[in-house]
Amino acid sequence: MKLLVLNGPNLNRLGKREPEVYGLETLEDVKKRCVALVKEFNAELEFKQSNHEGQLIDWIHEAEDTGVNGIVFNPGAYTHTSVALRDAIASISVPVIEVHISNIHKREEFRHKSLLAAECVGQICGLGTFGYELALRKFLQK
Ligand code: CA2
């Protein structure tokens, strides 16, 4: 089992500002917990972050071509704007779970809408960084 966690723009700043919204953990902390979880299941994990839409699209295509079994995707603010990322998800057969650390529905109106969710297996939001582990567990379960 080969899994991929993708993180979009500004998530490299996690733990550095706005702890009341996103918590105190850094993305490196989240990565460590995800790696430990996936290891328990003897599965493989790649954990990536990019601030660039095109890079995220390339990684999504690559996942299909390299036999990835599932993608956990926090698309950051591209969630609310990117038709190109929606099309990229639609263009692969690898299942994608959308994850948000914050509850996007409790926040500004412009964050309520996800352009990507309809192309994903499901969406987890508002459970903090635990959402990443929950999404991975969904793929890891038999
Ligand atoms: O709640 C989430 O996980 C989000 O995907 C995070 C995005 C936001 O644009 C989405 O609406 C919801 C923001 C990424 C992180 O931005 C930071 C801002 C300040 C300090 C640290 C990170």
pLDDT single digits (tens) 6-60: 999 999 999 988 888 888 899 999 999 999 999 999 999 999 999 999 999 999 9
Model pLDDT, residue 86: 98
What is the average pLDDT across 110-132?
98
How many whole angstroms separate alpha carbon 24 and alpha carbon 40? 25
Longest dimension (CA), the chain: 41
Q: Identity (one letter) of the amino acid at 90?
A: A
- Which residues are tagged catalytic? 22, 100
Residue 142 has pLDDT above 80, yes or no: no
Cα of 58 from ligand 1 centre, angstroms: 21
In 3D, which of 136, 141, 142 has the Cα closest to residue 3?
Answer: 136
Domains annotated for the chain, with CATH where assigned, are: 2-140 (3.40.50.9100)
Sign of CA dihedral 5, 121, 109, 23: negative
Q: What is residue 60's three-state secondary structure?
A: helix
What is the average pLDDT across 71-88?
98
Q: Answer for the pair 27, 11: CB distance below 8 angstroms, yes or no.
A: yes
Residue 117 has pLDDT above 80, yes or no: yes
Q: Higher confidence at residue 137 or residue 17?
A: 137
Q: Identity (one letter) of the amino acid at 40?
A: E
Q: Is the minimum distance from the CB of 77 to ligand 1 under 6 angstroms?
A: yes
Neighbour-count burial for 112-123, b at 16+ CB within 10 Å, e otherwise: eebbbbebbeeb
Q: Ligand 1 atom 17: the closest Cα is on which residue?
A: 10
Q: Answer for the pair 79, 119: CB distance below 8 angstroms, yes or no.
A: no
What are the residues whose beta carbons fall under 8 Å from the beta carbon of 65, sequence distance 6 or more?
none
